[in-house]
Amino acid sequence: MAAVKVGRFVSGSATQTVSGVGFRPKCVILWHTYQSNEETFENDLQAGIGAATATGEQWASAIWDRHNQGTSDCFRRMENDICVLAVSDPGTGRQIDMEGAFAGFTSDGFQITWSVSASVDISYIAIGGSANAYAGVHLIDDAGGTPSITGVGFQPSCILAHGIHLGSLDAYSDHGFYSFGGGSSASATDQATCSIAIEDDVTTTDTYRKFRQGEFLEVLTLAGGSQCNINLDSFDADGYTWSVSSSFTTDRYMGYVALGNVSAFGGYDTQPVSTGDQAITGAGFTPNLLFTWSHGHGNSGTVQDNAVFQIGATDGTNETTHIITSLDNQGTSDSDRAQSDTDVLWRNASNVGNHKSFDADGFTINWTACDGGERYYGYLALLVSEATGWGHNINGVANANIGKINGIPKANIAKVNAA
């Protein structure tokens, strides 16, 4: 039985069951660019990302930047009781185009209850098997420091995080901030993040992007500076500790997914200047899941013009990626989005990376198109065992609170009710 699945489904209505996963997941990560066409840029920057591990452990965010406007029109929104969200302003006011709450896992997938329905492609990663998983939101303290995040219920092996620079949930907020990152250890080589910033209500577009290696998450200012930098310090028995350097004036929300009892290999590399195979080594195991993110530029650590943000994934059989762009210094806004269901890294037709193989010490990307420019990307490669793990919750009881079953330590129990 498999333990990971990367896939796509078309969003529906009422309570929708997504099947064909092949196992009962413990975590699902979902993202979209609110479209159905493949490898075709469509007008308007519209995207969302979310995650769920239980009905009380879910979050979602969305971003919008309207195309062809003399005065820029962009905003974002985040909620912590849904797992899918899309927003827009077609000229009649800000609105929710799609909204769905996680309703539960099934033996072959998961369910979403739609309060606002649509019919667009949604990519997902489903994780089960041995993994422990927790999806939550956290307020980043504007004072910075080295806080410990607890309540996860297990010691994580890796963290994925998403920041949108919001101090309030369930409300629209001007400007387009979007950040994503991850890490598999406190080592700087195992962490990477990319961020974009798009200014609202300006007559000449002002958009930025940045990739930073050695950091877990970064949030930009509207001027392209850094508002918040986070480094992962340690994985702890009930969560993790980070170092925060912040110029926030108020606390800001971050969504995250913590995964435990898996092998994890985080890091970063650059797209090669010519086509061919690119082998990434150093994992120490053979992965069965790969997650990627990129800002589409060859510079790391320095802000660049133009907002570009891409997220992709593969399980070795299925690949998917979504990208959003917003050009800088334009008299009318030039904002687009695209998706590909055949590539794990796709910038455009001139920059295409396919997953070739999971290897004994990492993975190989086959670059079928390169335009000669190096472009940074972050990655998190995982090995999730097919063996049944304990998950985060068992019949509603947190895993951290379950130490024994009938007086027998759970570490000594290989099977329950086995013949």
Residue with tokens 């049944």: 388
> What would the two tokens of residue 116 be?
């606002």
Say what the pTM is: 0.92
Query: Exposed, middle or buried: residue 221 (CB in 10 Å: 0-12, 13-18, 19+)?
Result: middle
| E strand spans, 164-222 | 173-174, 176-183, 191-198, 207-213, 217-220
Query: Exposed, middle or buried: residue 298 (CB in 10 Å: 0-12, 13-18, 19+)?
Result: middle
Q: Which pLDDT belongs to residue 419?
A: 32
Task: Let me know: does 61 contact 77? Beta carbons within 8 Å.
Answer: yes
Nearest to 205 by CA among 333, 305, 45: 333
Name beta bridge partners: 398. 393
* Residue 419: inside a domain: no
What residues make up the domain containing 304?
A: 4-412
CA distance 321 to 345: 6
CA distance 123 to 322: 9
Going residue by residue through the chain, which has 419 residues, state the pLDDT in tens, using 9 for 90 and above: 689 999 999 999 999 999 999 999 999 999 999 999 999 999 999 999 999 999 999 999 999 999 999 999 999 999 999 999 999 999 999 999 999 999 999 999 999 999 999 999 999 999 999 999 999 999 887 778 888 999 999 999 999 999 988 999 999 999 999 999 999 998 888 999 999 999 999 999 999 999 999 999 999 999 999 989 999 999 999 999 999 988 787 889 999 999 999 999 999 999 999 999 999 999 999 999 999 999 999 999 999 999 999 999 999 999 999 999 999 999 999 999 999 999 999 999 999 999 999 999 999 999 999 999 999 999 999 999 997 544 444 333 344 333 333 333 333 323 333 33
> What would the two tokens of residue 87 be?
């927003």
Nearest to 41 by CA among 371, 375, 367, 348: 348
Nearest to 137 by CA among 11, 5, 251: 251
> What would the two tokens of residue 166 be?
């919001």
Overall number of domains in the chain: 1
* Residue 417: inside a domain: no
* Residue 40: inside a domain: yes
